[in-house]
Amino acid sequence: MGAATMAEVGISPAGAPAYFQRELETLPRAALRALQLERLRATVRDAHRHVPLHRARLDAAGCAPDDIACLDDIVHLPFTQKSDLRDHYPFGLLARPREELARIHASSGTTGKPTVVGYTRGDLDNWADLMARSYVTAGVLRGDVVHNAYGYGLFTGGLGAHYGAERLGATVVPMSGGATERQVALIVDFGARVLCATPSYALAIAEMAEQQGVDLRASALAIGMFGAEPWSDAMRTEIESRLGIKAIDIYGLSEIMGPGVACECGCQAGLHGWEDHFLFEVIDPETGRPVPEGQAGELVITTLTKEALPMLRYRTRDITRVTTAPCDCGRTHLRILRITGRNDDMLIIRGVNVYPSQIEAVLVGQAGIAPHYLLIVERRGILDHVTVEVEAQPGVDPATYDDLARQTVHHIKSLVGITTDVVVTQPGGIARSQGKAVRVRDLRKKGA
Ligand SMILES: [Zn+2]
């Protein structure tokens, strides 16, 4: 399991980098790749032996597990998609008997069956280690109070963040989402140094504190671990200034593990993807072929240590770039540049590709406008049409809302390149999320 010695955990002279698993986190890249190859072979062998879907696809592609001679051979392996999990609901992709599962998580599907994932005791152990590693990477120390506002339950966010903080030796406050007024009080009373939440909920907490006249910037809060939804750099700046913290981006997905697949270090220059447990690729989403390092494409992840649910070349739908350039923190694991869009979220508006985060970046930077918004997409005749509902900041004269709207239309047009309608509502007019924010209502889809 490779737990860190206590001396390594968050006790470092001021300024020196702290690691949770120093040796693994700073492994020279050649050694890291050798470890990946060994683990990839074992994973493919395991998937071939125990999961009928993987066996059938590997056989059809003519890939024998023992044929993998180098990491580049991964391009010959078939992809796995979210629909595969749905099609084999609930336990069809497990490589271990159901009796060996220590826990099950599931994500609620908006259509049809949920996506179910399972973990052995060993999987949970690795997950806790990787989350603890992510905390330390973000600057969290043993003994810190970690206020966990991720939802507890079938969603992986709550329990993932919880057990990682316990593994590190932090003091966890298992708050979950909701009861925002109480969140503010407990953050202050318990002296939380770390806040775990979706970025949109962190903003809701900041807003609640301001309404109550509580200055969280003066509290012990110093680090935010924010993930589970794409967010822009403009949103990061906004949250950092309103909470007086360093806002760290953390990435994960239940199909692969949950939170802690990748996490930013203090350099905030990309998220270190934990390559001893995962193999990351970036592909052209159209052709499925790998793109050169540094070029944008779809992130594809293969698990290297998962026992219950090995995933071969899982297509995340997340669009990003990676770099293996050395990082100032000393970690050798590649960095995934901040994911600001998902393929599924991309809107094609009159032929222009738009991610909601691009519009978010415009809204967050604008005077008089609060960073709460909803994009409504509909079809008018044969054309796609976007209405941006956004809130005015408290104290802004309602008589100026129309002017604000006109300015926002202009900014979106010049910075994003699409024409929208903008409706400015009074403060509080947009529903606050307590978990993953709903930023887009696409009326072109059935049931939206
Ligand atoms: Zn780093």
- Bigger pLDDT: 76 or 3? 76
Whole-number Å distance, alpha carbon 115 to ligand 1 midpoint, is 32
Q: Under DSSP, is residue 101 helix (H, G, I), strand (E, B) or coil? A: coil
Q: Under DSSP, is residue 199 helix (H, G, I), strand (E, B) or coil? A: helix
What is the reported pLDDT for 110? Answer: 59
- Bigger pLDDT: 94 or 381? 94
Whole-number Å distance, alpha carbon 245 to ligand 1 midpoint, is 18
Whole-number Å distance, alpha carbon 388 to ligand 1 midpoint, is 36
What is the reported pLDDT for 11? Answer: 45
Whole-number Å distance, alpha carbon 371 to ligand 1 midpoint, is 29
Whole-number Å distance, alpha carbon 265 to ligand 1 midpoint, is 5
Whole-number Å distance, alpha carbon 187 to ligand 1 midpoint, is 28
- Bigger pLDDT: 171 or 418? 171
Whole-number Å distance, alpha carbon 139 to ligand 1 midpoint, is 11
Query: Among 221-225, 282-286, 322-326, 416-420, which is the least confidently predicted range?
Result: 416-420
- Bigger pLDDT: 375 or 342? 375
pLDDT, tens only, 39-57: 999 999 999 999 999 999 9
Mean pLDDT of 310-328: 96
H-state helical runs in 61-143: 82-87, 121-138
- Bigger pLDDT: 112 or 357? 357
Question: For residue 241, is pLDDT > 60?
Answer: yes
pLDDT, tens only, 27-36: 999 999 999 9
Whole-number Å distance, alpha carbon 330 to ligand 1 midpoint, is 6
Q: How confident is the model at residue 6 (pLDDT cuts 50, 70, 90)?
A: very low
What is the reported pLDDT for 2? Answer: 43
CA–CA separation, 353 and 346 (whole Å): 7
CA–CA separation, 157 and 79 (whole Å): 25
What does each C-alpha distance from 290 to 72, 133, 142, 266, 302 come to in angstroms? Answer: 10, 29, 40, 29, 14
Q: How confident is the model at residue 111 (pLDDT cuts 50, 70, 90)?
A: low
Whole-number Å distance, alpha carbon 114 to ligand 1 midpoint, is 35
Whole-number Å distance, alpha carbon 246 to ligand 1 midpoint, is 15
CA–CA separation, 412 and 362 (whole Å): 6
Question: For residue 4, is pLDDT > 60?
Answer: no
Whole-number Å distance, alpha carbon 319 to ligand 1 midpoint, is 21
Whole-number Å distance, alpha carbon 30 to ligand 1 midpoint, is 18
Whole-number Å distance, alpha carbon 55 to ligand 1 midpoint, is 37
What is the reported pLDDT for 13? Answer: 45
Question: For residue 340, is pLDDT > 80?
Answer: no
Sheet holding 314-320, edge to edge: 278-283, 297-303, 314-320, 341-342
What is the reported pLDDT for 21? Answer: 97
Whole-number Å distance, alpha carbon 216 to ligand 1 midpoint, is 27
Closest of 43, 44, 31 to residue 275, by C-alpha? 31
pLDDT, tens only, 356-395: 888 998 998 788 999 899 999 998 887 888 999 999 999 9
Mean pLDDT of 328-352: 86
What is the reported pLDDT for 5? Answer: 45
Give, for 35, the enclosing helix (H) or strand (E): helix 29-50
- Backbone region of residue 175 per phi and psi (left: phi > 0; alpha: psi in -120 to 50; beta: other values): alpha
- Give pTM, 2 decimals: 0.90
Provide the percentage of residues in the chain whose pLDDT is more than 70: 95
Q: How confident is the model at residue 446 (pLDDT cuts 50, 70, 90)?
A: low
Q: How confident is the model at residue 448 (pLDDT cuts 50, 70, 90)?
A: very low
Whole-number Å distance, alpha carbon 342 to ligand 1 midpoint, is 24
Whole-number Å distance, alpha carbon 250 to ligand 1 midpoint, is 13
What is the reported pLDDT for 169? Answer: 96
Whole-number Å distance, alpha carbon 82 to ligand 1 midpoint, is 30
Whole-number Å distance, alpha carbon 307 to ligand 1 midpoint, is 28
Whole-number Å distance, alpha carbon 137 to ligand 1 midpoint, is 8
Q: Record the tokens describing residue 188, joined without a space.
A: 């202050």
Please return the burial class of 389, using the count of CB atoms within 10 Å of its CB with bins 0-12, 13-18 and 19+. Answer: middle
pLDDT, tens only, 187-234: 999 999 999 999 999 999 999 999 999 999 999 999 999 998 888 899
Cα dihedral 195, 200, 205, 211, rounded to 10, equals: 150
Whole-number Å distance, alpha carbon 281 to ligand 1 midpoint, is 19
What is the reported pLDDT for 89? Answer: 94
Whole-number Å distance, alpha carbon 253 to ligand 1 midpoint, is 21
Whole-number Å distance, alpha carbon 328 to ligand 1 midpoint, is 6
Whole-number Å distance, alpha carbon 332 to ligand 1 midpoint, is 8
